[in-house]
Each structure stands twice: as structure tokens, then as C-alpha cells.
Structure 1
Amino acid sequence: MSSDLPKPDHATSNFKLVGYSDQGGRCDGVQIMVHKGFAYIGHIFSKGFTVVDVRDPGKPKTVRYIAAPHNTWTLHLQAAEDKLLVIHNKDMFAQAELADEKNYYKGSVGHHANEKNEKRDWSAGMAVYDISAPGDPKQIGFMPVDGTGLHRIYWTGGRWAYASALLDGFTDYIMIVIDLADPTKPQLVGKYWLPGMNKAAGEVPNWPTKSGRFGLHHPIIQDDIAYCSWRDACLAVVDVKDKANPKLITHKVWAPPFGGGTHNALPLRDRNLLVVVDETVLDNQEDGFKPIWIFDNQVKSNPISISTFPAPSDKDYLKVGGHFGPHNIHENRPESFYSEEVIFATYQNAGLRVYDIRNQFRPKEIGAFVPPPPTKWVDPRPNRPVVLHSADVFVDKNALCYVTDFSAGLYIVEYKG
């Protein structure tokens, strides 16, 4: 390891630190895509996204920063086929009432969509960039929506993209289907929401409306089925063969007794399994125990939980403060590392973890990389603990893991297992 690289925390097994970038001084990052040797990193506080040349992973170089419009989040993005899709959404954490994250995660955010006579001072929709010159993204299209905008997209190439969107009249984020036949003019062609979410149509929620987020985080698509992580409404499995009229296959809820916050639902086709991540969203596990689950998915209308991943036990991470629990997993994208036996997960203040699930009934941890706490703090919210928050991980075909953080920059580590 080079002497000028940050020194990892105590828990480092089966990983080698290769490179580090402060992302041009904008150390905060959420979703990351790596395409043709360039990393595209969406910021959560720095109002835009950054491009980092990682062709030499030991010497990453920041090459571009694309600013977001005023009061706009661009924290999630997807890269494929020399195109980059970037969400535009109202910057939720910049809103005064959401400086306390409990207000963002414990109740509906539908009132942040545009109301009559309110001036919309943010950009809402999805931008499309040409990245055929990967270090120089050029915007070629935009799909506007009425509402706060999009949260996260799923797109691995082709005509159809799927996203979560908070549209006017809805209580929270729903699923939308996007037609990219003409990437310069993307079109919203289909919607799906859980019954009770369409407030404008007079629907009445059948869940507690003052506690919990009953909104879509994002779907992952396989074989025309959308596996939708619906936060505290947990897992919705939706048939999307008819793009204009998606239909519910089944809806599974385990919160309560568990904490909810479902964030990813990754299908493993060859093994008929689902890896389902419940995100820890509050400090000190105030929102309860949040596991990474394995579901048996042989019967698509009845996925059944069969095990959970072990939580990191090499240190008392609750004493560290901040968020201790899962956030995100590598989603087996085309042209990246693909495995139905090895799962990479970010665990917030416990860094990056890797798991062996060859025995789906007994997942085991087989690697860990915990970066040091951030040296530069960019989170503007008051009273936040200055701790690690490993946010997202992208793993390339060479088992290089690109790990983002809310404040600590980009770590590039090689899995040695």
C-alpha cells in the first residue's frame, strides 16, 4: 500500500487498498457507476456529480464536475451503452424541516411535491448524457416530471428504464417506466403505486401515515418482473411486461416486527434467490434491526425469507455512533462483477463487507474493509456525528471495489478472496 494513501481502520481482511480520491474536494458521494475506466459519482451535498478517471486505479484523477440546478439533487445515476442517466429531484436534505433526518425517514414526503400556486425552484425529472467521450459528459436529453422528481433509476441498457418518482398528487415515491427509444426525448409511459398512494384520486392509505416511509426506493428488473424495494412497505413484486400497465404479483411486509427501510431487492436468477437489503436510516439503530435477507424465490408470487446475513462483529459499531447497518449492495450489472455466491455490501459506519452465500441458509462474512473516519466534513446538517458512512459500492470484473461515502471520498480496494 502506498504511503500516501489513507490508513484503513482496524478491520481489513481479504482486501487491499489500491487508490483513493477526494473527488476534487467534493468528498461526498452516493451512487457510483464505472464505465470504460471512468467513475461517475452522484453527490448528496455538493449539488451535482463528478467524473473521476480510474483507468489507473492507483492514481484516480478528477476530470469533471457537473453542477446540479438550484435546489436539486443528482445523487443517483446509471451508465450503459455510452449513456448516463441522472436523476433530478428536489434536494430533500437542503429543506429546513429535513435537517433532522428523522423527518425524512419517518413519514410521508408527498407534501414536498409541487402544490398549487407554489413556485417550483428545483429541477424535476431525468437528464440523459452522452458519455461516448467518457471524461466529458454532454447532456442530450431531459424528461421533466411534475413533482419533486426522481430518486433512483434502474437501467442496464436498451429501451426501457425504471425509476422511483414523487409526482404531484401522490403520498410518496411510486414506480415509473421510461421509454428511451429516443434518448434525446425520454417519455414516461407507465406507473405503478401501492393502493392508497394516489391522494389526488381520493385514495386513502391503509397504513400509519405519521410513521414510516411508504414509498419506493427503486426497482431491479429481471425477466419482466420488477423487484421493488418499497422502504417501510418492504417488497412489492410487479409484472412489467405491459410497460404502460404494470400489475402487482405480490406484496410482502415484515415491518413490524422488523424495521423496514427496504433498499435493494436483487434477484439471483440461476439460484431462484432474492437478496433483500433493509437500510439503516437513523443513528444508533433507533429504527431497529435492519438485516440483509435471503429469500427463496422459486415461486415468484410467494418469495419466502430463509436467512439473514451476519452483522459485523469485529467491533462495537453502535458505540462508534451514526448509522450502523446495511445501506447498499453491488447489483450484478452487466459489464461488472457478477456472482450469485459472493455479495458485496456497504455497512455505513462498518465500511464494506463481503459475504459468501453458497449455502443460502448460512451466509457468512468473508471480507471487510473499513476506511478511516472522514477528515473533511461536508454534511451541512447540524449535530451529525463525524463518522464513516460507506454509501455505495460498484465492483468491476477484476474485483476492484469502488466505495463511496457521505463525506470520506472514494476508496478503491481489491478483493483478494
Structure 2
Amino acid sequence: MSRGFVVAATVVAATLGVGTAGAANHYFPYISETAAARAQCGPDDLTERGIQGNVSAEDRNSGRSRQGYNCNMARLGGVRGAGGGIVSVTSDHCSYTSSLFPSSAIAKQPGVQIVDARNPRKPRVVGSLTTPAMVGGTWESLKVNHKRKLLAATSVPFLWGGGFFSVYDISDCAHPKLLNKGAGTAWPLPFTSHEGGFSPDGRTYWASGVYPGHLSAIDISNPAKPSVIWQGLHSFLGHGFGISPDGNHMFLSNMAGITVLDISAIQRRAPYPQVPHVAAYLWPDGQLNQHSIPVTYQGRRHLFSLDEAGSGGVKVFDIHKLNKPKLITSIKLEINLPKNQDTLVRSSSGGSLFGSNPHYCSVDRPNDPTALACSWESSGIRVFDIRNLNKIREIGYYNPPAQKNSTITQLPNSPHVLGSIIGMPVLEFLSLGMSMANGKVSVPELVGPRSGMIAGGDMATDWCFSPPEFHGNQIWSTCSDGGFMALELSGKVYTPPADQASTHGSD
């Protein structure tokens, strides 16, 4: 870059309250070619055939994928409703299904659906939230703060939005009460968003945009009167994030890595807050980093960070020293390995934009977590034993039955239905190109019976995007076509810790 560009960028950053002094970039060129050890499944499970995480083109065409796949996990109950949206969340015995604009606005019950799962074998939709933020499409902004029992979301009509913001009291989870009837509801607030989430103490809601990396802090100390107290441009592109338990650091997703921000001035409500860049962690495999989960092992800070495209899997860092991070390992399924990118594209053809990558994960507790559960797009819900970071292994999975050939009339709140106008797995092409450049792609393996489905894809798998949240031995989540599911993880492979407290890093 030219000296003039650097000076200009520094001036702009200072003007926006984003410091750059002392920040360092850390590049991790290592690309893992090893998958997590496979789960040992039970004799009655309907297991995957072949490569771990793969739903083959043949299974999609034959109808086998409509039976689903499971290993050490079983479905207790579920309710499809209008579809599962993108990121849905749970609290107590309830689940809240995110909305997708514009189709969810004209659904039978528009807005965010309230699911009562007190009886997980017979969950039911008991209402919906219809403020402008909730009807306008919540995308990845719908989040719960368990400490204060708050539910909040911003309006994201398509990829990018802002202005409308709703906060609900969910002390009675089946009957949320709107708290901000003025700012954010009756009139918009000055922010943009694609994603959002809470600080751990629930006093701040952070809204992150996509391009040009716009980040806003909304003070909800008094949820009835939310106000924007800081804004800045942090990088070229922003996505989801995780926040440290003390609320002082944000691990903000960028295109292919993480930007670490010092948000302590916002946390302590300094009168003229600055948000310095502490560091950036960057890597070549995996595009569109989705979010991160700060945890500790024996008091030492670690981070799980996942990529929703590009087969980067879930990276695990030791961040005890934020500016001296250490990459410990990557959690991948076999379908994500560089040598299997041709198979991934072959299988995903005709299924629209996404293939098989993690989108949102949760740990079963923030300190010394024992299990990680992830929504892995077309590979369903995957659960890993993470007690020993040097021996991470998969312990179970549930890939819901495909709802093949459903229409927008039947599932207006399914992004999979809306995305099926495109057949190609576009978000897999960068990792495919990298594997081709490294001589790991077989053209005969790349071409299959669904390769011609360039437009007008089908739904021969489901898309699972939402954070799978631990409720004892149960895992609750939603998938795009199948809606809300209550799953049970076998006691043979998982024992819930006494202090279980499921978290995905921004709740």
C-alpha cells in the first residue's frame, strides 16, 4: 500500500473511534488434512455411507436422504411450522424461530415464531412476534441473553439492514413482552446490521453489518430506551462475533479470519470511548468466518472459530496472550478435507449455494467445556467430545430427513426453499479452486448425476444453520426445512456436566 493510503486509513480509523496502534496480524498457513475421529454408532442407527459428513448425489437422487441419518442421536419431537429461518435460539422451555423477509411477513403467522417445547416430544407453535424488527427478517441477529432473560433482534430484510430493533422480556418465555415501544419500534435507530448479539452482562447489544464493516453498540441498560452509544468501521467486511466473558474483547469475524477488538471502553461506559484493534488472526482455508466462542481450559483462554464456507471447519486457538495466539487444531469432517473437495461439489450440486460447513456452534459450558455441537449445513447437527483438544472426536450426529420438493407456499420461512432457484454450490468454489491448484481434484469424481443442475436446484438435503443448544442430554435447534427439533444424545456418549450452561459466544 502507498504511504498516503496508510495515513488516510489511520485518520479515518481515528475519526471513527477505532484505534490501530499496537495491532498485529497473525497468519496461519496450516491447512488441516485430518478429520475428527468418527463416532462409534449403534446397531440401529441410520448411518451415513462412505465419507464422513457426505450426503452423496446418489442418496439425494434415490430418495435415501429423505430418511435422514443418525448416530447416537434420536429425534424426540419437532414442529416444522413455516420453516426454520436462519439463526434461531432457545430459553428455558421455549425456542424462537428467526424470520426471513419478505416471505415470512406474509406467512400464516408472520414474524418470529414462539415454540413451546415444555414437552419436547410434542412441541408446538404458541404465538409470534410481529414488531417491525421481527417481521422484517432477523437473519443472524436474533439472540437471547440468559442472564437478563432478554430476547432481541434487528431488522435485516436481505443480507443487510438496520434501523428497527426490538427487545423483549422473556421471563415467561412463552409470552414475551416488548420493552422498547418507542426507539427501535415506533421509529428507527441509526445503525446497520447483518448479525448481532449481546455482551455477557446483557447491557449492550452489538449490531454488525457486512460491507463496509460497520459495527454499532446499542446501550440496553434500560431496555425500554435503547440508544446507539458507539459506531465504527473495523475492516472491509464484518460478520458474527464472540465476546469474552468479562465483556472487554470482541472476536469479530472478517472474510477469512478474526479481528480482535478491545471493547472495554464501551463495557465500562467511558464518555468518549475508543475501540482499538488488538490483533487479527488470518488463514487461507475457509471463507466467510461466521462466529467465535471464547472458552477457558484450566483457566487458560481459548477460542473456537468456524467458517461457513471454504471447508475451513472449526479452528481452535490458545489465546491466553491475545497478540500471541497459537493454532491448536482444526475440527473437520472428512467431506471438508482438501482431497475430498471434488466429492463435496459433486454431492452438493443441485442443492443450491451451501454445501457442508459449520454455520453456528455451541459449547456445553464456557469453562472446561466437554462437548461442542454444530449445525453443519447439509451434514446436519454434529457433536464432538472436546475435553482433550489433542484428541477431539465426533460422538454423534443427526441429519434430518430431506423435505424434498417443498414450495415457498408450504415453507415461506425456509432460506433453502428461497435459495433453490440456484443449483450450484457457489460457496464451495474457492476451496475447490485451492484443491485444484494443489493437484488434489479428480475431474471424473467432480462430475456426477446432478452436475447439470445449474439453476432450479432441489431440497434433497436440509440446511442446518442455527446454534444447537444443550438442554441436559437434549439438543434443541432448527433446520431450514424441518423446523424446530428436540434431539436426544445417547447417555453412552455424553454425560451433561452439573454446571452445564450452553453458549455460542454472543448470548
State the TM bucket, normalised to the shorter chain. Answer: 0.7 to 0.9
Does the alignment pair 1:279 with 2:353? no
Distance, in Å, in 1 between the alignment partners of 2:221 and 2:208 is 20
Q: Does 1:409 align with 2:458?
A: no
Paired residue for 1:16?
A: 74
Q: Is 2:288–2:308's contact at 8 Å kept on the other side of the alignment?
A: yes
Letter in 2 for 1:55: R
Aligned-partner residue type, residue 303 of structure 1 = P
CA contact 2:243–2:251 (8 Å) conserved in 1: yes
- Of 15, 22, 27, 2:83 maps to 27
Distance 1:157 1:227, change over 3 A: closer
Of residues 367, 371, 375 in structure 1, which corresponds to 2:400? 371
Change in 2 beyond 3 A, CA 1:308/1:414: same
Match of 2:357 among 325, 338, 361: 325
* Structure 2 counterpart of 1:82, one-letter code: K
Q: Could you tell me whether the CA contact under 8 Å between 2:335 and 2:356 is conserved in 1?
A: no
Partner of 1:86: 153
Structure-2 change in CA distance of 1:186 and 1:134 (3 Å): same
Change in 2 beyond 3 A, CA 1:325/1:162: same
CA distance in 2, matches of 1:156, 1:33: 16
In structure 1, which of residues 157, 167, 172 is the aligned counterpart of residue 212 of structure 2? 172
Count of residues paired in the alignment: 349
Decide whether the 8 Å contact of 1:215 with 1:233 is kept in 2.
Answer: no
Question: Which structure: greater helix fraction?
Answer: 2
Could you list the runs of 5+ residues in structure 2 that have no partner in the other structure?
A: 1-43, 45-64, 106-110, 267-272, 412-416, 422-455, 494-507
Point out the structure with the larger strand share: 1
Higher Cα radius of gyration? 2
Q: Which stretches in structure 1 are left out of the alignment for 5+ residues?
A: 2-6, 93-111, 114-122, 198-213, 281-287
The farther-off stretch of 226-235 and 301-310 is 226-235
Q: Does the 8 Å CA contact 2:191/2:207 hold for their aligned counterparts?
A: no
1:72 matched to 2:136? The reply is: yes
**Displacement of 1:8 after TM fit?**
7.8
Conservation of the 8 A alpha-carbon contact between 2:212 and 2:238: yes
Letter of the 2:212 counterpart: D
Give deviations 1:365-397, integer Å, cap 9, x for gaps: 111111111253432342343131011133234
Could you state the TM-score of these two structures normalised by the residue count of structure 2? 0.63
Structure 1 residues 87 and 312: CA distance shift in structure 2, 3 A: farther
> Bigger relative contact order, structure 1 or 2, given CA contacts below 8 A and separation 6+?
2
Cα gap change, 1:192/1:384 in structure 2, threshold over 3 Å: closer, same or farther? farther
Contact 2:241 2:252 in 1 (8 A): yes
1:290-369 matched pairs, under 5 angstroms: 290-312=312-334, 318-321=345-348, 322=351, 323-330=355-362, 340-369=369-398
Instruction: Tell me by how many angstroms 1:55 deviates.
Output: 0.5
Distance 1:150 1:325, change over 3 A: closer
Q: CA deviation at 1:51?
A: 0.2
Deviations along 1:3-53, one digit per CA (max 9) or x if unpaired, are: xxxx98453112121111113xx1132222222211111123524210000
TM-score (norm 1): 0.75
Query: Is the CA contact (8 Å cut-off) linking 2:364 and 2:470 kept in structure 1?
Result: no
> C-alpha offsets along residues 286-327 of structure 1, whole Å, 9 cap, x if unaligned?
xx3322111111211222222111315599654442321111
For 2:473, the aligned partner's letter is A
Provide the rounded CA distance (Å) in 2 between the counterparts of 1:295 and 1:374: 37
Alpha-carbon spacing, 1:289–1:131, altered in 2? closer, same or farther (3 Å): closer
Residues 89, 239 of structure 1: alpha-carbon distance in 2 compared, 3 angstrom cutoff = same
The aligned counterpart of 2:458 is 385
In the alignment, is the contact (CA less than 8 A) between 2:200 and 2:245 conserved in 1?
no
